[in-house]
Amino acid sequence: MKDEIKKYSLVGTVKAVSISKKHTFSKKNQNIIKLVKGFGIEGDSHFGSTIKHRSRVAQNPDQPNLRQVHLIHSELFEELADRFHIEPGQMGENITTAGINLLELPADSVLFIGTSAVIQVTGLRNPCAQIDHFQPGLLKAVIDQDGGGNLIRKAGIMGVVLEGGEVKPGDEIRVELPPKPFKKLDRV
The answer to whether residues 95 and 68 touch, using CB atoms and an 8 Å cutoff, is no
- Class of domain 9-176 (CATH, top level): mainly beta
**Cα angle for residues 13, 16, 17 (degrees, 5° grid):** 115
Output DSSP code: residue 76: H
**Strand, coil or helix: what is 177?**
coil
Q: How far apart (Å, rounded) are the C-alpha atoms in residues 143 and 123?
A: 15
pLDDT tens-digit series, residues 47-88: 999 988 777 777 888 889 999 999 999 999 999 999 999 999
Average pLDDT, the chain: 92
Q: What is the largest CA-CA distance in the chain?
A: 49
pLDDT tens-digit series, residues 125-166: 988 888 999 999 999 999 988 888 888 999 999 999 999 999
Q: Which has the closest alpha carbon to 175: 107, 89, 76?
A: 107
Bridge-based pairing of strands 95-98 and 69-73 is parallel
